[in-house]
Amino acid sequence: MDKLIIKGGMPLIGKIKVSNAKNATLPILAACLLTDKPCQINQVPMLQDIKTMIGLLKALGVQVNFKNSTVDICAGHNMTLEAPYDIVRKMRASYYVLGPLLARFHKAKVYLPGGCSIGPRPIDLHIKGMESLGAQMNIEHGFIDAQTDKLQGANILLEGNFGPSVGATANVMMAATLAQGTTTIIGAALEPEIVDLGNFLKAMGAQIQGLGSSQISITGVKQLNGTEWTPIPDRIEAGTFACVAVASQGIIEIENCEPKHLEAVVLTLKEMSCSITHAENSIIVKTNGRPKPVSITTAPYPGFPTDLQAQFMAALTIADGTSHITEKIFKSRFLHALELNRMGADIAIDDNKAIINGKEKLSGAKVMASDLRASAALVIAGLCAEGETEISRIYHLDRGYESLEQKLTGLGAKIERVASRN
Ligand code: UD1
């Protein structure tokens, strides 16, 4: 297993380019199952999660060619309608094949994705959505066996106890594109990745209204066409690089980002005393000494994203005062706090709240990554800590950050990947 060795403590300065969004690309790849015509997806990031989705599509019988950041994909008629456990267990987003398979083939068998280190991850809203469209959903022996004679449009309330669900909105929206009649999702997710998926489906010929609002209407069509698409830039990667600027007390120009997807993040950075300059496709984050402490509460878009909670926590460990973070989406998503404390941070966790007493400096240590965004938080901490930080289990990082060491090295970071036997 590889490790990252970081020698931190210096300001990072320069330009860094964001890749396109993993969380937009994954459902878009699954949506290609909705047509037997070829689709071409451009500027796809080379990430483990993308490779896993491609592996899953291939296992279903889809022809996929991933070369030079372009995915050529064609889901013909000779398909297997079962998503194998060995692939699904690697990535929760595998459940994105459920809606498209049910819509086009009226049958799907998908192993249950299970929990993960950021806490319980129920799928009741996905099940409710498909049942509302007329599918019979049997859950037995650890898999979902779904079938239907035909999907029928319906009004579906998709909000759960923790607000709208990105995944369930995507799954129901994909399924409804080929259903009979009109489906209205009430309590739909507003995330830019949902809007991007919806626009991709529209380019395939789907009839969708209300994207970016909490009520999305989809009128089913007989069939969809192939199309070409470039997914949106990754707002979470952009926010991660902003935290690198804050923690290293540097100046970073973040290229290939969509500033309007980052409004809550930019407002938080300003409260932390950063100066932010916008251009059309980039932002410049300029820090002014140690960040000021802030209070952050995670929320569905357009609120502060849970996927940046860990990275901001890392940056706030060196704030000039006490910060508070309340996690409202995944209530126990705080494993990174313990590792940050091993680097000299002072973080106390109480249920879904974190209190971060800022310290002047962190000190390098041996730490272990526990999930994708927690890994990014440890990298950020390593970049600002004095001395050497060794991060193990960095395969989590490879799921969601493309060429991270190379990109950070371009800013002057001392970061190196080494192979390790233990
Ligand atoms: C997606 C993102 C993930 C991000 C999350 C929240 C992808 C591949 N993943 O995950 O990175 O952290 O959105 O922005 O895009 N819930 C239920 N029942 C359900 C489904 C979800 O109660 O059936 C709850 C979840 O436990 C959570 C909340 O709803 O508390 C939001 O989850 P959801 O938006 O569904 O997250 P994902 O789509 O899995």
Gyration radius of the chain over CA positions: 21
Of 319, 353, 359, residue with least CA distance to 337: 353
32 catalytic per annotation: no
| pLDDT of 114 | 60
3-state secondary structure of 115: coil
| pLDDT of 122 | 85
Cα 414 to ligand 1 centroid, rounded to whole Å: 34
CB 296 within 8 A of CB 324: yes
3-state secondary structure of 111: strand
DSSP labels, 122-190: --HHHHHHHHHTT-EEEEETTEEEEE-S--B--EEE--BTTB--HHHHHHHHHHHTTSBSEEEEET---
User: What pLDDT digit, counting tens, does each position of 252-282 carry?
Assistant: 999 999 999 999 999 999 999 999 999 889 9
Ligand 1 atom closest to the CA of 236, numbered from 1: 11
Share of the chain above pLDDT 90, in %: 89
CATH architecture of residue range(s) 22-229: Alpha-beta prism (3.65)
Q: Has residue 379 got a pLDDT over 70? A: yes
CB 28 within 8 A of CB 40: no
**Phi and psi for 217 in degrees, rounded to 5?**
-110, 135
| pLDDT of 419 | 87
Q: Has residue 212 got a pLDDT over 70? A: yes
Cα 199 to ligand 1 centroid, rounded to whole Å: 21
| pLDDT of 280 | 85
Could you tell me the residue ranges of all domains in the chain?
Answer: 2-19+233-419, 22-229
Of 108, 90, 88, 89, residue with least CA distance to 98: 108
Q: Among residues 32, 39, 116, 274, which one is catalytic?
A: 116
CB 39 within 8 A of CB 73: yes
| pLDDT of 422 | 56
122 or 12: which carries more pLDDT confidence?
12
| pLDDT of 94 | 93
| pLDDT of 279 | 84
- What is the residue with the minimal CA distance to atom 38 of ligand 1? 167
Q: In the predicted model, what is the mean pLDDT of residues 373-394?
A: 96
Q: Has residue 116 got a pLDDT over 80? A: no
| Whether the model pTM is above 0.75 | yes
| pLDDT of 141 | 85
Ligand 1 site residues, Cβ closer than 6 angstroms: 23, 26, 92-93, 121-126, 160-162, 165-168, 193, 306-307, 329-330
Rounded Cα gap, residues 31 and 59, in angstroms:
16
Cα 221 to ligand 1 centroid, rounded to whole Å: 28
Same topology between domain 2-19+233-419 and domain 22-229: yes
User: What pLDDT digit, counting tens, does each position of 90-111 carry?
Assistant: 898 999 999 999 999 999 999 8
**CA 235, 28, 213: angle at the middle one, nearest 5?**
60
Of 218, 219, 210, 220, residue with least CA distance to 189: 210
**CA 229, 231, 236: angle at the middle one, nearest 5?**
175
User: What pLDDT digit, counting tens, does each position of 83-95 carry?
Assistant: 998 899 889 899 9
CB 107 within 8 A of CB 81: yes
Q: Has residue 373 got a pLDDT over 70? A: yes
User: Which residues are registered as beta bridge partners of 255?
Assistant: 17, 282
- What is the residue with the minimal CA distance to atom 12 of ligand 1? 307
- What is the residue with the minimal CA distance to atom 4 of ligand 1? 307
Q: In the predicted model, what is the mean pLDDT of residues 153-173?
A: 96
Report the 10 Å Cβ neighbour count for 46. Answer: 12
In sequence order, which residues have a C-beta less than 8 Å from that of residue 76 and are 6 or more positions away?
Answer: 36, 61, 62, 63
**Choice from 329, 330, 352, 396 to test ligand 1 binding pocket (greatest atom count within 8 A of CB):** 329
CB 185 within 8 A of CB 209: no
Q: Has residue 17 got a pLDDT over 90? A: yes
User: What pLDDT digit, counting tens, does each position of 50-65 carry?
Assistant: 999 999 999 999 999 9
Ligand 1 atom closest to the CA of 118, numbered from 1: 12
Any long-range contacts for 324-327 (C-beta under 8 Å, 24+ apart)? Answer: 324/295, 324/296, 324/353, 324/354, 324/355, 324/356, 325/295, 325/296, 325/297, 325/298, 325/353, 325/354, 325/356, 326/295, 326/296, 326/297, 326/298, 326/352, 326/353, 326/354, 327/298, 327/352, 327/353, 327/354
Q: Has residue 120 got a pLDDT over 80? A: no
Edge to edge, what strands does the sheet with 63-67 contain?
A: 63-67, 70-74, 39-41, 228-229
Q: Has residue 115 got a pLDDT over 80? A: no
- Average pLDDT over the chain, rounded to an integer: 95
Q: According to CATH, what is the number of the domain 2-19+233-419?
A: 3.65.10.10
| pLDDT of 113 | 74
| pLDDT of 317 | 98
Q: In the predicted model, what is the mean pLDDT of residues 285-305?
A: 97
| Angle between helix 335-342 and helix 372-384 axes, rounded to 10 deg | 20
